[in-house]
Every structure is written in structure tokens, then in C-alpha cells.
Structure 1
Amino acid sequence: MLVTVTGGTGFVGAHSIAEIVRKGHRVRLLVRDEARVARALAPLGVDRSAAEIVRGDVTAAADVARAVRGAGAVLHAASVYSFDSRDRARVRRTNAPGTAVVLEAAAREGVERIVHVSTVAALFPSRREPLRADSPVGTPRETYMRSKADAERIARDWQDRGAPVVITYPPALLGPHDPRLGDQSARLRALLRGRMPLWPSGGFPLGDVRDTAMLHAALLDHGGDAPGRVFGPSRYLSTRQYVAAVRAVTGRALPAVFLPARAMLPAGLATDLVQRACPWHLPAEYGAIYTCACATRVADDAGTGGFEPRPVKETVADAVRWLRSAGLLTARQAGRLARSAPASEHAAAGKGNR
């Protein structure tokens, strides 16, 4: 089967492609910059020749139409995932508009299997806890989260119209081989570099990118038998538990002070204002603090496609090993993991469900 993938040079997209190719499918990528393809896929053991390339933009109807033509399935993973205030314009013009273009093109083409990659944050804040597949779309007060909530409404509208759309809700994701050093990988790096001494209370669902990738590949295979809405495998962690896990795998003390999340929101807004004029990334973003303040647990019996999340410490350790092997951490910053073998190219993401 030919699978068209948007966002294939990103963290989720690249790992999902590796699983899709492993299952024997052909892949076509819609990308703006062809040079990014090899950088994203080669570390995962996917040869550049395994992917057909269509150059274009996810918000351009003609480009998307070319990309989905003749495809048996579409994985829409393209979005700008950033809490950086400098990226807000890109977030607004890409996430919801791109979803509208891709889902309409796929539906018009008669694609049999369409997977829209949402995020659990599209359901925040929620009046109903824990989260389930029928939880309403959130109304968040943050640009990225609001853009994904808007995209979620578009995807649900296509479901209501009978289109074969499956929506997945990945949690915050870590793991090896992040092509663009996304939000979670960058935050882990900042913690290990001593740039995260203050943490908000609250927490967030955390998962491994490899587990979500396996879920996506499985949903494409299930076709019409796939459920309509599926949560990515995850575990809810408080921020204290997250920092404790990083301390445990690295053997480092990592001093941290935990403050009430809502009391930190004004500081996050101030940081976002300063960030607009600052050339260096500041980790204390409003969006990250806001997420911790309003994140909700996913119900234990909520659908995850039969996939169990791998242990948090395994995920964190593999992410730290990769950051070290990529030259993004010093040996001292990686702690005891600097002396262990780097993460495997697609660490036994495994055969079958974990």
C-alpha cells in the first residue's frame, strides 16, 4: 500500500515512517525541504530511496492533491509544535489550515485510511476527568494548544461526515533521534544543562515516540476496523516524578524548586515577551507552564490500540543517550549514561505490541 505522510521529517513523522516501511508499505512524503528527508530517516535505518518525495506545502491545496493522488492511506503528522512565542505566526498559519487542506484532499481522493495526528493537549483543559475518546475538544488559552484544538474540530467534523478519519492523541513524547530537537527533547536537554532550576507543579502524560509510531503503523493496517479516536501510549507523571526519573537514570542531583503552576503563569507570559527579542531559546515558556497547570489524566481503559507504554526510565535513558551521542550533552551532563552504549537505531521498537 502507498502511504502519503505529511510531517515526515519531524519527530513523530520520521519514527512513524520507519514503522510503516518496516511493515512493507511504500511511502510518499510531502516536504518543503527535500534535504531534511535523509537527515530524519537515515538514523532510523530508512534509506532515502524508500521514500517518494513531493515538494510542497501542507497548506497549498495543489501540492497536497499531488501528494495524496493514488494513495491508499494518509498519515497527517504535519504541524508546528512549539511554545516559543517567536513561532506563533507559523503555528497559526500551519496547524489548523494545513489540517483542513489535507483532510479535504484525502477525502476527495477517496483515500481509504486517514490518520490525523492530534495531541492530548487538544483536549485541555477538560471539565471531565479522566480523558476518554468522547471527551470534548478543549478551549485552551495558549497558541499551539488552541491551534491543535481547532485542527481537532476539523478532524471530528470529517468523522461526522463519514470520512474514514482516525484521530490519535500522542502525549508529550521523548525518545532517541529527534530530527529538529523538539519541545520535549529541548526541555530535557535544558534540565541536564542546569537551565531548569524552577518547575511548575502539576504534570503531563509522557510517552515514547517509538510506541506512538507503532500505533500509527498499526492503525493504517487496520483500515476500517480501526477505532475512531485512539490515545498514544503514555503514563501521567507529575513534574516531580519526571525530574526524579531523570535523576535516577543519570545519577545526577539536578537541584529543582517546584512552585504552584498557576502562580508561575505571569512569569511565563513575561518570558514569552522577552523571548521575542532574545536570540536564545528561553525554557520557561508560558505554554509549558500552562500545560502543567491544566493537564488531565487519560483514563486507564481509554483506547491505545492495544499498545502498552514502555517504562518511563527506558524512554528517558534512550533520549539522554541520544542527546549525548549527538553531541548535544557533555559527558558530565549525561551522568552515568555517558558510559553506556548509545541508543540503538530503532531500539527494538519491537515486534508486536509492547
Structure 2
Amino acid sequence: MLVCVTGGTGFVGAHSVAALVREGAAVRLLARDPSRVEGALRPLGVPSAAVQVVTGDVTDRARVAAALRGVDAVLHAASVYSFDTRRYPELRRTNVSGTELVLQAAVRAGVGRIVHVSSVAALYPAPAGEVTAQSPVGSPKEAYMASKAEAELVARRFQAEGAPVAITYPPALIGPYDPHLGDQNARLRNELRGLMPMWPLGGFPLGDVRDTAELHARLLLEPGREHGRDPGGRYFGPGRYLTTRQYLGSVGEVTGRRLPALFLPPAAMLPVGRAVGLVQRVWPWHIPAEYGAVYICAAAAPVAKDVPTGGLSPRPLADSLGDTVRWLHTGGLLSARQAGDCARPRSAAAIR
């Protein structure tokens, strides 16, 4: 089976490519920058020669059509995931317009299996207090989350029209081998570096990128699965809901470090986040106090226990956190003191 993957040099995309290759699939990437392919895939045991590469962007109709030519399945994982106000112009262009173009092109090309990678954040705020496969699309007051909600509406429209589109909802993801040190892994690093002394009360869903990648491989490669004809065509990446106190406590347990923090109501921190966002637009270095990160802690809700997960359960939280911190340390992104008990190295094979 030949699978086209968009966003294959990103965190979710690269791990999903590795999972597909391990299961024997042939993979074709649509990549804006082919020079990033080796760096994203080689640490996961996938040599760049093992995948085909079409150079192009998900907003380029001709390049998308070229990437989809002759494929059996599509994983649309291309997305801008950031609460950084400097990246706002990219959000709608990639997350919404790119989704419309890729799904439309895949349907027109007669692709039999299409998986759109959404986000559980697209369902927030959740009026029912938890999210399910039947949850309505959210109306979040934050740019990244709003762009994912708009993309979700696009994907659901294709489902309603009978297209073979499945939707996955990853939680916030941690894990090793993050090609661009994405938002969640960067936040974990900043906490261990002492750059986040204040946290909002509330919580967020957290999972391991390797579990979500396995879900994508199952949906694309296992025969007989129903896609897009009912809520069974919507799947949740394995994860768990943690309060911010539980999250910091778990990080402290894994690293053996005491991580003091001041917990404040989100209402008290949101104005600070807005002010930081304005400053960030002109300040060249990233400021780790983001409005979106505070907002999601206020808006997030647990995922119902009986949602479809492709038969997968989340791996132990301590394993996910420990593997991520070890990777940050061995990659020179944390000192031995900052990594604490996780400073002891392990082989790459042991943490895949």
C-alpha cells in the first residue's frame, strides 16, 4: 500500500511515517523542504531513501495533486501548532485552507482511505463537560484552536457527504524525537529550566506521540475499518486528562526534582497572556507565557472513557515523560541537573 503523508517532517507526521514503514507500507511525503526529511526520519530508524518525496506545500493545488497521484491512502497531518502570536498568519492558511485543498484533492483522486489529523482542542470549550465522538465543533477564543475548529468543520463536511474520511483527535503530545521541538515538549523543557514559575489552574489532555502514530497506522493499514459514515469515523489519540498540579507532580516524580510553582486562576493569567502576545509580535525571542496555553487549561475537558481509540490504550505516563526528558537531555537541550533522575542515558531503540 502506498500512503501519502502531509506534514511528515513534523512531530506527529514523522512518528506516523515510522509506524507506517514498520508495518510495511510504502510512503510518499509532500514536504515543503525536502532537506528536513532525513533529520526528521533518521532518528526514528527510517532512512530518507525509504520514502518518496514530492516537494510542495499543502496550499499548492498542483503539488498536492502530484503527491496524491496513484496513492491508496492519505494521512493529512500538516498543521501549524503554535500559540506564538508571530505565527498567526500561517494558521488559517495551512490549517484551514490546506485541509480543504488536500481533502478535496484526495476525494477527487478516488483515494480509498483518508485520515485527517484534527485535535481535541477543536472540540473546546465542551458544553457537556467532556468530549466524545459526537461532540459539536467548539468555538474557542484562541487563534490556533479556532483554526483547528474551522478545519474540523471542513473534515466533517466531507464525512457528511460520504467521503472516506476518518478524523483523529490527538491530545497534547509529548515524546522523544521531536524534529522542531514543538509546543508541548518545549513547555516541558522550559519547566525543567525554571522558566515557568506560574501555572494556571485547570488542566489539559496529554498523550504520547508514539501512541497516536500507532493509531494512524492502524486506521490506514488495517482492512475492514469504517471511515467517515458515522461517529465511528472519529478516533481519539490515547491519552489522559491531567490537572496542571498533577502534571507538574508527575514531572517532579520522574525527574526526582522539586518543582515549586504558583498556581493561579486562569482569569488572573489570561490578561497577562494577552499582553505577552502583543509584546511577542515585536520581541524576537520566544516568551513562554502564552495566552493560548493558559486558555486551553481553562477550556479543556476530559475525553469520555468509551470513545474510539483504535483499540489502543495510553502507555504509562512515567514512560512518556521519562523518555521525553531523556531525549531532551541526550540532545543537549537539558543539563544533567535539569533532567534529574532522567539524565541516565538509554539507547534510541529502547525509547521507540
TM over 0.5, yes or no? Answer: yes
Q: Is the 8 A contact 2:3 2:71 kept in 1?
A: yes
Q: Is the 8 A contact 1:8 1:29 kept in 2?
A: yes
Q: Which residue of 1 aligns with 2:345?
A: 341
Q: Is the 8 A contact 2:168 2:235 kept in 1?
A: yes
Instruction: Quote the offset at 1:262 in angstroms.
Output: 2.1
Gaps of 5+ in 1: 349-354
Instruction: Quote the offset at 1:3 in angstroms.
Output: 0.1
Q: Is the 8 A contact 2:239 2:314 kept in 1?
A: yes
Instruction: Quote the offset at 1:30 in angstroms.
Output: 0.2
Q: Which residue of 2 aligns with 1:26?
A: 26
Distance 1:343 1:177 in 2: 13
**Root mean square deviation, CA, Å:** 1.0
Task: Supply the AA of the counterpart residue of 2:288.
Answer: P
3-state SS of the aligned residue for 2:305? coil
Identify the match of residue 248 of structure 1 among 250, 253, 275: 253
Q: Deviations over 1:220-255 (max 9, x none)?
A: 023551430000000000000000011001111111
Q: Deviations over 1:8-28 (max 9, x none)?
A: 000000000000000101000
Q: Which residue of 2 aligns with 1:214?
A: 214
Distance 2:57 2:341 in 1: 43
Sequence identity percentage: 62
Q: Cα 1:223–1:165, aligned 2, differ >3 Å: closer, same or farther?
A: farther
Q: Cα 1:229–1:343, aligned 2, differ >3 Å: closer, same or farther?
A: farther
Q: Which residue of 2 aligns with 1:263?
A: 268
Instruction: Quote the offset at 1:115 in angstroms.
Output: 0.3
Identify the match of residue 287 of structure 1 among 288, 292, 295: 292
3-state SS of the aligned residue for 2:348? coil
Instruction: Quote the offset at 1:346 in angstroms.
Output: 6.8
3-state SS of the aligned residue for 1:52? strand
Moved more, 253-262 or 115-124: 253-262
Q: Which residue of 2 aligns with 1:304?
A: 309
Task: Supply the AA of the counterpart residue of 2:346.
Answer: P
In the alignment, does 2:13 pair up with 1:13? yes
Distance 1:208 1:94 in 2: 24
Q: Which residue of 2 aligns with 1:84?
A: 84
Task: Supply the AA of the counterpart residue of 1:31.
Answer: A
Instruction: Quote the offset at 1:341 in angstroms.
Output: 2.3
Distance 2:72 2:80 in 1: 25
In the alignment, does 2:179 pair up with 1:183? no
Q: Which residue of 2 aligns with 1:351?
A: none
Q: Which residue of 2 aligns with 1:106?
A: 106
Q: Is the 8 A contact 1:199 1:258 kept in 2?
A: yes
Gaps of 5+ in 2: 227-231
Q: Is the 8 A contact 1:29 1:52 kept in 2?
A: yes
The alignment's TM-score, normalised by the length of structure 2, stands at 0.97
Distance 1:337 1:25 in 2: 34
3-state SS of the aligned residue for 2:130? coil
Q: Cα 1:53–1:122, aligned 2, differ >3 Å: closer, same or farther?
A: same
Instruction: Quote the offset at 1:344 in angstroms.
Output: 2.6
Q: Which residue of 1 aligns with 2:242?
A: 237
Instruction: Quote the offset at 1:91 in angstroms.
Output: 1.0
List, as ranges, runs of 4+ consecutive aligned residues in structure 1 with deviation greater than 6 Å. Answer: none
Q: Which residue of 2 aligns with 1:50?
A: 50
3-state SS of the aligned residue for 1:8? coil
3-state SS of the aligned residue for 2:116? strand
The alignment's TM-score, normalised by the length of structure 1, stands at 0.96
Q: Is the 8 A contact 2:330 2:345 kept in 1?
A: no
Task: Supply the AA of the counterpart residue of 1:297.
Answer: P
Task: Supply the AA of the counterpart residue of 2:175.
Answer: G
Instruction: Quote the offset at 1:313 in angstroms.
Output: 1.1
Instruction: Quote the offset at 1:276 in angstroms.
Output: 1.0
Q: Deviations over 1:253-302 (max 9, x none)?
A: 11101000122110110110111111111111000000000101100111
Which residues in structure 2 correspond to 1:142-181 (within 5 Å)? 142-181=142-181
